Amino acid sequence: MPRWSAKLRLRLRSLLLPGRVQRELDEEIQDHLRREAELAGAAEALRRFAAGGNLDAVRETCRDQRRVAAVENFVQDARRALRRLAAAPGFTLTALAALGFGLAAATAMFGLCDAVLLRPLPGVSAGGLAHLERYDGAELLGDFSYPDYQDYRALSRSYGTLAAASNFDFDITSAAGTETVPAELVSGNYFATLGVGAELGRTLLPGDEPAGANQVAVVSDRYWRTRMGADPAALGRAIEANHTALTLVGVAAPGFRGSTQTWGADLFIPITLQPTLAPMGGTGENCLVSRFCGWITILGRLAPGIPLRQAQAETTTVAARIAAAHPGLKSRQARVVAGLGSWSDDRASQSRFLTLLLAGALLLAAMTSASLGSLFLARMGARQHEVATQLALGAGRGRVARQYLLEAAWIAGAGGCLGVLLAGPAARWLLALSPNAPANLPAVSTAHVAAFAFGLAVVCTVAMAGAPALLVARGGRIAAALQQGGRAASAARHRAQRALLSVQVGLALLLLIAAGLAARTLQAATAGEVPPAAAHTVLAMLDTGHASYTRAQSAAFYRRLQGNLAAQSGFTRVALTSCLAPAPCNRGPVFLAGTEPSETVMRSREFAEQYLRPDISWVSPEYFSVFDLPLLGGRSFTGADRSGAPLVCMINRRLAERLWPHQAALGQRLAWPQFNFAGGHDFTVVGIVADRRSESLLQAPPYAVYVPEAQAPFARMWVAAQTSLATAAALAVIRSQVASLDSRLPVIHGRTLAEQVRMSLWQPLAIASLAGLFGLLAAALAAIGLFGTLAQFVIERRRELGIRLVLGATPGGLARRVLGDALAPIGAGLMLGGLAAAAGARLLLPWLFGVAPFDPTTWLAASTLLAFTALAASALAAVRAARLPANTALRGE
Amino acid sequence: MSRPTDLVQGTLDLLILKTIALEPSHGWGIAQRIQQISRDELKVQQGSLYPALHRLEQQGWIRADWGASDNGRRARFYSLTAAGRRQLQRELAEWDRLSAAIGLVIQET
């Protein structure tokens, strides 16, 4: 055994088993004595023993030899710190609650950031994974086409394999009914590329890709357990997906739910089944052949030893070759991005959002530390005589300073533990609040979260007790401290206390301004945009494509459903629409009738930039009243605008002004060349409606065209019903009415319009609520810090105040004097916070709408609220000073 | 050795190391052997012996193992570690140097 490890073992033994070490020594000495007695007689042995010193002295000398005194002192100090904390339960509990909350909030946010931004998807082995993005210059384009994927796969050498994946909802029909299940259409090498195995049976293989051999499926472990009762006999059974029978060949390894964070697939099906299972919305295009269908994410694992740079160089060449061979395509370049991801994941936006929340939580933790730091300094003021005595009795400055750090460390350590314990539940709670939270996230990692929480706890310890410890360590002369009750040493402490108070007020202001801006955004974003009856408008999404309806059948189905629902008791108005925020609307190029270009030109690369692409919604006549969209001119749709009648449309004011800036839009004709249903593609404008922000309530309203759903039947529609029933009851009615018409059709989403609005406003809503909560907490903590500090000032200045009283000062004058002490740090804090907010407000820009970062109302309200709270807390302390009876004050010294 | 502190500092360590270098032994055995070999000139009291053994063990120069002794009871047997063997060489060299120096001074005066 090397010498150092033998030494370490002995030290640990002495520390951890002191009783046992002592007993062994006693046994040794007894044995010694017994042997001497046997040799020389008992009396002589005792005499010799006494000559060697008494037993306790021997024990003590031996203990000194064990060299663990430093550690034992430390343990002693830690115990003393704990006792001191227990003696001040009010302070300790406040500190624990405040710091515990701050650390838990920061740790939970970090856990979320870690899971969403840093850690690999569940079940996927991480190293060397990458995905491709396609570009036209700097513009990021959507997904790849299948022929593009085939080209990249055939021409690339830098990747072990390149796999394709695409997300779809499929209806799974079983004895229990029809259920919509998130699925991924994947290439045969998908599982091998991701390094995911099968828990049961096999994964999909390259042999499953060719048409004819591809009627197979793999399910996730979750699906197998929750829907198939974890029955091993499920293998080989048929799964009916979108009314096509597939054979279940395997269950994927536990945890794995696909390659997309936002999706969370339960069903994996060969990609070549797309034309059968998921014909693309009526365009009639075969997306396995067409380069105009963008629907595929390309994923790969870099071949061993190939750096990302080299893969990028090759991919650039391949993209250029594809672009040269197909000049009509818009995509010219491709970029290799490390890690999994897809166009729809939008990691950049999530990353910005989560980092912002993390920053907010860290601000709260910093704020809490500052507030507790000022309380520590106040306690130090109360303890200065004790400290001076300790120093005078010969305690090392380092050891006395350490006492403060140890007290803070206990609080921060407990807070850190609380943070680790709460991080998982808090992260889950936040995700549950988010209506569009990523479905496929790894569980919060205890190791990462613990490392973060305890790292932060160390920082907080220093922030809380650093100032007192430093003041003691540097401190003035001990004798002076003893004589004057520490008044000489107080100046430095008071400076530190004022600085900490300013920091608290500043951080609280920062949080309150952020909360205010987010709240104003919510107000501005919803003002006039959300129908008053939103909470009583129930939405349900249907897709007749799931039952392979023709357009005429689809139109007939929706007509009957609408009629049946309107006849139900409790349902007032029922509307249909193809588009509902926050999901993106269908967009199409429109032209003044007669100016539309040929199809070749339309498909050319320059096309998208040149032509107007408004949102196009298929709606029923009731849409405008249910969604409270005012008619500005002309007429709304009527029952007469049906299939066979002249094509009509309504447009919003913005589009009318853009297309016909100098004349009336009503009666003009609009061409929508992609419309290929019946009777040409020219629509007469019959009505103009107000602008409405659709895709995001945080963006300017788009150009919008509305066409009667009866003239242009669409498969996927939202039913929007105003009802007096409760949401669940209303949805049950809709489900039963749908089922009575066609039991094969599932209701895909069901919620109220108010919930739908919350989905699109989720991020500013989260910022407003969290920043609001943090801001109010911070203001409360600042108030506690101020009160604690000033109250301590009053006690320290008792003598001075008493003399002033005796000399004729009024109690009111004393109170004003104490209050005056608080004004400077509060003012400095407000200024500091204002400067920080001015620098940081720009970071909030992506989430602001209808409010400037320097919105005077918000700034004024936040500063006023904070100043009022701070002054109220100071006033409480000042009143204490005013109540001071003169004789007590003087006797106190 | 009734007053071991009178000895040159560190001599007891040297004696202990040298004694157990010959054969591992328990505390009493070490004291006995030092006494015998020095012809009763050096008597090591337990008040100095056990702290010294403790110190040497903490330095990693000797190690202690419980074993059965001649009287049937269990006892801690001390033996030299590799580091202890090197330390013994160093202390012996140091002792030679010191005693030679003292000898020179004594002969001169």
Give per-residue pLDDT as tens, A79-106.
988 998 898 888 888 888 888 888 988 9
* CA pair distance A712, A721, nearest whole angstrom: 21
Q: Chain A contacts of B54, Cβ < 8 Å?
A: 25, 62, 65-66
First-residue to last-residue Cα distance in chain B: 27
Please write the tens of the pLDDT for every residue from A827-844. 999 999 999 988 888 888
Q: How many angstroms away from the CA of A7 is the closest CA of chain B?
A: 6
CB within 8 Å: B31 and A32: yes
The verdict on B10 touching A (C-beta cutoff 8 Å) is no
Q: How many angstroms away from the CA of A47 is the closest CA of chain B?
A: 11
Q: Which of helix, strand or coil describes residue A893?
A: coil
Q: Do the bridges between strand A615-619 and strand A704-708 make them parallel or antiparallel, or are there none, so unpaired?
A: parallel
Please report the pLDDT score of residue A246 as a whole number. Answer: 93
Residue A329 in contact with residue A367, Cβ under 8 Å? no
The residues facing B26 across adjacent strands are B77
CA nearest to A60 within chain B? B51
Of B27 and A545, more confident: B27
Q: How many angstroms away from the CA of A48 is the closest CA of chain B?
A: 8
CB within 8 Å: A66 and B58: yes
HEC string for chain B: CCCHHHCCCCHHHHHHHHHHHHCCEEHHHHHHHHHHHCCCCCCCCHHHHHHHHHHHHHCCCEEEEEEECCCCCEEEEEEECHHHHHHHHHHHHHHHHHHHHHHHHHHHC
Those of residues 4-33 in A touching chain B at CB distance below 8 A are 4, 6-7, 10-11, 24-25, 28-29, 31-33
Q: How many angstroms away from the CA of A203 is the closest CA of chain B?
A: 59
Across the A/B interface, how many CB contacts are shorter than 8 Å? 68
Residue A181 in contact with residue A246, Cβ under 8 Å? no
Closest CA to A108 of A420, A414, A440: A420
Q: Which of A42-56, A325-339, A601-615, B43-57 has the lowest mean pLDDT?
A: A601-615
Query: Which of A7, A52, A58 comes nearest B58 by C-beta?
Result: A7
Q: Which residue has the tokens 């910093």?
A: A366
Sheet holding B62-68, edge to edge: B25-26, B74-80, B62-68
Q: Chain B contacts of A4, Cβ < 8 Å?
A: 60
Kindly state the average pLDDT of the residues A541-555: 79
* CA pair distance A868, A135, nearest whole angstrom: 53
Give the containing element (helix H, strand E) for A300.
strand A297-302
A396 sits in the region (left: phi over 0; alpha: psi -120 to 50; else beta) called beta
The verdict on A55 touching B (C-beta cutoff 8 Å) is no
* CA pair distance A356, A673, nearest whole angstrom: 44
**What's the complex ipTM?**
0.85
Provide the whole-model pTM. 0.73
CA distances from A279 to A211, A269, A549 (A): 15, 15, 12
Token pair recorded at residue A429 = 């709670």
* CA pair distance A329, A324, nearest whole angstrom: 9
Query: Which of B26, B28, B46 comes nearest A58 by C-beta?
Result: B46
Q: Chain B contacts of A51, Cβ < 8 Å?
A: 2, 45, 47
Query: Which of B45, B60, B73 comes nearest A52 by C-beta?
Result: B45
Give the containing element (helix H, strand E) for A198.
strand A198-201
CB within 8 Å: B46 and A10: no
Is the pLDDT at A168 greater than 90? The verdict is no
Q: Chain A contacts of B47, Cβ < 8 Å?
A: 51-53, 57-58, 61
H helix intervals, A158-201? 190-194
Longest dimension (CA), chain B: 54
Those of residues 35-54 in A touching chain B at CB distance below 8 A are 35-36, 38, 48-49, 51-53
Please write the tens of the pLDDT for every residue from A28-46. 888 888 888 887 777 877 7
B45 Cβ contact partners less than 8 Å away, ≥ 6 residues apart: A48, A51, A52, A53, B1, B2, B4, B31
Query: What one-character DSSP code corresponds to residue A884?
Result: -
Is residue A885 very low, low, confident or very high in pLDDT (cuts 50, 70, 90)? low
The verdict on B75 touching A (C-beta cutoff 8 Å) is yes
Q: How many angstroms away from the CA of A6 is the closest CA of chain B?
A: 6
Is the pLDDT at A312 greater than 60? The verdict is yes
Interface probe for B, chosen from A7, A10, A35 (most Cβ of B below 10 Å), is A35
Please write the tens of the pLDDT for every residue from A191-248. 999 999 999 999 999 999 988 888 999 999 999 999 899 999 989 999 988 778 999 9
* CA pair distance A885, B37, nearest whole angstrom: 84
* CA pair distance A260, A747, nearest whole angstrom: 24
